[in-house]
Amino acid sequence: MVIKVREATIPITEIEQSAFCQTDEELKSKPLEEELEAGVQWQKLPISYLKMSPEELDTRIFEARQQIGERLVVLGHHYQRNEIIKYADFRGDSFKLSQLAASKRDAEYIVFCGVHFMAETADILSGPDQKVVLPNLTAGCSMADMAQIDDVMDCWDDLQNVMGGDVTPITYMNSAASIKALCGRNEGIVCTSSNAPATFKWAFERTGKVLFLPDQHLGRNTGSRLGIDTADMLLWNPFKPMGGHTEDEVRAAKVILWQGHCSVHTRFSVDQIEQARSNHPDVQVVVHPECFKEVVDAADLNGSTEYILKVINESPPGSVWAVGTEVSLVNRIAQENPDKTIFCLDSVVCPCSTMYRIHPAYLSWVFDALNAGVVVNQISVDPTTAEEARVALNRMLNIV
């Protein structure tokens, strides 16, 4: 028997997460030439775009967008900077935007201002003649990068050898198309942060165990919500044989959690919640379920980005909210609800470093290229992977 042991590696996207952190609450775009000093990976651009001021880029983007017209639909994820969101025809979380992409069959081009796995999902769900573009190819996702397909395949083979078919794979939307495809061809399913409990129930009706990828915290919080003891949840380390466990331990587990996490949501702590309550006795705390379990337990409410938006938007004037999710979204919610007090739990302003790489210079470059008849940064999922991933996505749609 050959035991595979690999050296643990940290995705570069995880290492770079703090690159844009600052104490100034104003996250305003600078010329890309200045932002390059942040020291993260950037896709190369023609030098003329590097030197343009935010104001010049704004004018160019507006004019180029008008020229393209209805051939184009622009999707903006909630975590994007305001200078990008203003040009989005639709904004939302990853799945909502992918659904919108699928419904806009008349658009020749779909520019997805988000990260790589989102553009992949849009390509899977959109029409065969539509072209999906990601403005900056270095806009990845640290969580998705923590589940590499070779590692997941090794895990799946181990689980099959130990448990046979008594395990259902569930992957979070925040994963590569190859992981979604693995779920599709192995009777598994995709989930979002809002419907994770429903997919867990669906899975347990079919098998006795769940493999949840790639965010351990969403998986743990979802299992706990359904009454599963944390002692019955096992954390799988892809860099250790059998995930770091014995075969008996694997057999005994009800939920097997992949060792992945969100670099943004693991910044939030119980101490921050306690400080918010000390400063604002009437505060309500709402956090994303990608946070640590103890943070979710200490909060008043938890839910997806769409849920957080809804609960705050519908709250009465004068209410006070401390929010545990990405700061660009929190700031935007505060701007759109001036009659309420809304602030991010984390006093250090840390936007999602991969989302933040969709700088206006890239959007301007992409639009200019489309007007010149050139499609840059097209995201295409191979037909077999797309077909298998679509199976897992459709299973999710059928239970929502």
Give the model confidence (pLDDT) of 298-331 as tens digits.
999 999 999 999 999 999 999 999 999 988 889 9
Give the model confidence (pLDDT) of 247-259 as tens digits.
999 999 999 999 9
Local structure of residue 356 (DSSP, 8 states): G
Per the prediction, the chain carries an average pLDDT of 90
Over residues 185-209, the mean pLDDT reads: 94
Assign 3-class secondary structure to 285-311: EEECCCCCHHHHHHCCEECCHHHHHHH
Local structure of residue 23 (DSSP, 8 states): S
Round to whole Å and give the CA distance between 191 and 214: 11
pLDDT score, position 94: 77
For the beta sheet containing 109-113, the strands, ordered from the edge strand earlier in sequence to the opposite edge, are: 90-92, 72-77, 109-113, 131-133
Lowest mean pLDDT among 34-48, 58-72, 155-169: 34-48
Residue bearing the bigger pLDDT, 225 or 397: 225
- Please give the model's pTM, rounded to 2 decimal places: 0.88
pLDDT score, position 148: 95
Instruction: Examine the pLDDT at 4 and tell me if it is beyond 80.
Output: no
pLDDT score, position 200: 97
Superfamily, domain 41-139+354-381: NadA-like (3.40.50.10800)
pLDDT tier at 5, thresholds 50, 70, 90: very low
- The proportion of the chain whose per-residue pLDDT surpasses 90, expressed as a percent, equals 72
Structure tokens at 335: 């701007």
- Which residue, 39, 339, 7, 381, is CA-closest to 184? 381
Over residues 44-48, the mean pLDDT reads: 92
Over residues 210-228, the mean pLDDT reads: 97
The answer to whether the CB of 72 falls within 8 A of the CB of 107 is yes
Domain boundaries, the chain: 41-139+354-381, 144-262, 265-344
Give the model confidence (pLDDT) of 343-396 as tens digits.
999 987 566 677 888 999 999 999 999 999 999 999 999 999 999 999 999 998
pLDDT tier at 22, thresholds 50, 70, 90: low
Round to whole Å and give the CA distance between 85 and 142: 22
Give the model confidence (pLDDT) of 159-182 as tens digits.
999 998 899 999 999 999 999 999
pLDDT score, position 23: 47
Residue bearing the bigger pLDDT, 203 or 100: 203
Evaluate whether 41-139+354-381 and 144-262 have a shared fold: yes
Work out whether strand 90-92 and strand 301-302 pair parallel, antiparallel, or are unpaired. Answer: unpaired
What CATH class is the domain 265-344? alpha beta
pLDDT score, position 350: 62
What is the three-class DSSP state of 64?
helix
Give the model confidence (pLDDT) of 66-104 as tens digits.
999 999 999 998 888 889 999 999 988 877 887 787 788
Continuous segment of H or E residues that includes residue 321: strand 320-324
pLDDT score, position 7: 54
The answer to whether the CB of 175 falls within 8 A of the CB of 194 is no
Over residues 114-119, the mean pLDDT reads: 90
Instruction: Examine the pLDDT at 13 and tell me if it is beyond 70.
Output: no
CATH architecture of 144-262: 3-Layer(aba) Sandwich (3.40)
Q: Exposure of 220 by Cβ count < 10 A (0-12 exposed, 13-18 middle, 19+ buried)? A: buried
